[in-house]
Amino acid sequence: MKNKCSKYEELFVQNASAEEIEKHIQQCEECRAEYEAQNKVSDLLDEVKMYYYSKRKKQVARLRAACAIMFMVFSLASVGGFALTDDDIMDTLKYGDTLSAEELGFPVDSYGLLMVDE
């Protein structure tokens, strides 16, 4: 049983120069076959890379737009919710002015503060 040549992998792990790798590929049949198989995979990846990245860019753009829209919706809803629960604003809209405690019929002292009976 013949051992498989592992020099090609060793050269990559050791970060050998391109000339050393090329020289070994020319001499060794097994490593040349492995090199060609890697090139085929690399070519396939290059073919689909443009499609993948353009699709991903579109998805990221859509996600950003959706986040911006949701931020605006929640911001407007929260500002609108605060405005509708503020009694002074609602009184101004309904009656033209805010109502005081005395106008609402509560017992008040000379300063306009609510009087509490003990």
| Domain coverage including residue 115 | 86-118
46 and 75 both lie in a single domain = yes
Reported confidence tier of residue 82, pLDDT bands at 50, 70, 90:
low
Element (H, E) at 69: helix 29-85
**Residues 118, 104 share a domain:** yes
Clarify whether residues 18 and 68 are in a common domain: yes
Given pLDDT bands bounded at 50, 70 and 90, which one contains residue 1? very low
Average pLDDT over residues 22-51: 83
Alpha carbon distance 97, 90 (integer Å): 9
* 98/57 same-domain check: no
Number of domains forming the structure of the chain:
2
The verdict on residue 1 lying in a domain is no
Global pTM?
0.38
- CA distance linking residue 11 with residue 17, whole number of Å: 8
Residue 31 has a CB neighbour count (10 Å cut-off) of 20
Separation between Cα atoms, residue 42 and residue 70, nearest integer Å: 41
